[in-house]
A and B are shown apart, each in its own frame.
Chain A
Amino acid sequence: MPQIFEASKKAFITGNEAIAWAALAAGAEIMFGYPITPQNEVMHYWTRLAPEYGKGFLQTEDELSAGFTVCGAVQSGKKAFTATAGPGNVLMQEPFGMAEAMRLPLFAVIQQRGGPSSGTVVYSQQEVTLTTYGGNGEGHRIVYSTATHQEIYDYTIKGFNTAWKYRFPTFLLGDGYQAKMREPLEMYNPEEHGIEMVKTYPLVGLQGKIGEDREPQHLCNIYSLEEELYEVVLKFAAEYEAITPELVEYEEKGCEDAEIIILSHGVVSRAADDAVKILRAQGIKAGYFRPITLRPFPQKQLREAINRKPARKLLIAESAYGQLDRLTKQEIYGETVAIENLFMPGVGIIDYDIINKVKSIM
């Protein structure tokens, strides 16, 4: 694979640009997309870079089409991706569901905006439920929630590999702040960091006679009989559960002696991290837990963190009205820790908000 950078270099960029550059470094070949804020600069920068590096881009007529063209492109063996937000994420759930059904290595970036409907173009964490469990039926997908530009860059590269290695649709879940904020990061060729990019391969049009040279390639999103579907759903569920331990990622700080653990994800975890440091300096034993994979959720690790001391309280902080909260409760069912919440739907959360909340409940 040709190297995009002569050497790794530090740059000052927005999160959306980080995605475009990382996709390029990851060897992505084509992006399909339809404009929506706050992901527009992913497209803007990809379309500026694409001609220089011989890459493709198609602006489709809507998000349904953008999602389905990615489904088509990856079947032909192309490393393809899309990016969207808000109502566009809603529309893309149908193609995302197809990718779940057919086990397509689709990679999509979601930059959350406010909702319901067009809401705001600015920021939220209100697309957690949709991005983790938005398809009809019970498909499986992998969702990384990033917190910094460096992570956006790293997990875009990783996201392509995860999708092609495991053949489950993979998502990078960001938000409008991460999309538009500017901060320094290191841009690098994956090889320089010892990352080997998974080779892409066509899923259709394969050589050889079926039954003699090779098994048939069943890429199927509809079945005639209940039992046929039942078998496939169970098979995929078992496969997903088997790889879950190697997929799960999380970050934990100071939970060993924590009276209260602050649970957050994405950009809010930056505020939580600061809040924990300040609270500790003030003598309040606070801990920090952040799922990086929202799906699969690090449920075993969170249960362990809660029970280590054990913590008396778990504070769930999110820029949504209880999406991480619901996700967490279903994952840690049976734990007796008191769960408190700080829900600020569609607005930013800073360390001060978390500190005040903690002090009001401790």
Chain B
Amino acid sequence: MGEYASGKSEVAINRALELKRQGREVTLVDLDTVEPFYTLRTLKNDLEKKGLKVLAFTRAQSFGLGETGAMLNPAARWALKQEGDIILDVGYGVFGAQTLNLVEGAYESPELKIMAVINYSRPMTGNRERIRSYIKNLGRVDAIVANTHMGDESTIDIIKAGNQEIFIVAAELGIPIAYQVLDEKLKDSGEKNWEIPVKYIKRFMPTAIW
């Protein structure tokens, strides 16, 4: 989960595909309650061709429902009953981790990990104070994925400087950093000196609706 446009879906998709490549069974769940018909809908078919199971509305399922609005995909409610690895892409909104109230068995699951995706270039998480209060408002957070970037204008310097601020706040709050995320286009930057493990991601969301 994380701030609007923090990169939650991109991180979720890439993590799901990474697990799939390891030969695991993976279900990716669109748990966006603000715009439930939009986030992963256009990507669903492509991702399923790559072997993922994607719980998201299809065009046929949402035809006539038209608008955005609070609606939970019934399959998402029971998502944790799926076999294998389950990744919940929790949409933004004021309820933070409470959105998991909608998922049966979320709090009883010993395996559930709540990861907050944070991009320091997003103004609402653009300084230490804002990151601190943002994370506190989310509720339970088990780990942080540092995802500082500036889209096509990302540089290693921007990423390093931003993520460093995230690390500082995470240390203060006693929350571990799971990993940091870099666009695969930056793989050849030559930078090797990463304090925290890096995962390179491929960007899928540019082909989403918005």
Q: Which residues of A come within 8 Å of B, CB atoms?
A: 9-14, 17, 21, 37-38, 40-41, 44-45, 48, 118, 121-122, 176-177, 179-184, 187
Residues in B with CB closer than 8 Å to A176 are 210
Among residues of B, the one whose C-beta sits closest to the C-beta of A21 is B123
- CB contact under 8 A between A182 and B151, given known A13-B123, A118-B67: yes
Is B8 among interface residues, defined by CB-CB distance under 8 A? no
Residues in B with CB closer than 8 Å to A40 are 68
Decide if A10 touches B210 in the complex (CB within 8 Å).
no
Residues in B with CB closer than 8 Å to A9 are 126
Number of A-B contacts (CB under 8 A): 54
Give residues 23-70 of B contacting A (CB, 8 Å). 35, 66-68
Decide if B151 touches A183 in the complex (CB within 8 Å).
yes
Decide if A48 touches B124 in the complex (CB within 8 Å).
yes
Decide if A118 touches B150 in the complex (CB within 8 Å).
no
The size of the chain B interface, using a CB distance under 8 A, is 20
Decide if B4 touches A37 in the complex (CB within 8 Å).
no
Decide if A11 touches B126 in the complex (CB within 8 Å).
yes
Is B5 among interface residues, defined by CB-CB distance under 8 A? yes
Distance in Å from the Cβ of A226 to the closest Cβ of chain B?
44
Once the chains are docked, how many angstroms separate the CA of A9 from the CA of B126? 10
Once the chains are docked, how many angstroms separate the CA of A48 from the CA of B134? 12
Decide if B123 touches A37 in the complex (CB within 8 Å).
no
Residues in B with CB closer than 8 Å to A118 are 66-67
Is B163 among interface residues, defined by CB-CB distance under 8 A? no
- CB contact under 8 A between A41 and B66, given known A12-B150, A12-B151, A177-B210: no
- Lowest 9 CB-CB distances: which A-B pairs, in order? A180-B210, A12-B121, A184-B150, A184-B153, A11-B123, A12-B150, A37-B68, A182-B5, A183-B151
Main secondary structure of the interface of A (DSSP, over half): mixed
Residues in A with CB closer than 8 Å to B210 are 38, 122, 176-177, 179-181
Instruction: Produce 1/0 per residue, B116-154, CB < 8 A to A.
Output: 000101111010000000000000000000000111110
Once the chains are docked, how many angstroms separate the CA of A105 from the CA of B30? 43
Is B171 among interface residues, defined by CB-CB distance under 8 A? no
Decide if A10 touches B150 in the complex (CB within 8 Å).
yes
Residues in B with CB closer than 8 Å to A13 are 5, 122-123
28 contacts between A and B (CB under 8 A): A9-B126, A10-B150, A10-B158, A11-B121, A11-B122, A11-B123, A11-B126, A12-B122, A12-B149, A12-B150, A13-B5, A13-B122, A14-B4, A14-B5, A17-B123, A37-B67, A37-B68, A40-B68, A41-B4, A48-B124, A118-B66, A122-B210, A176-B210, A180-B210, A183-B152, A184-B150, A184-B152, A187-B123
Once the chains are docked, how many angstroms separate the CA of A40 from the CA of B68? 11
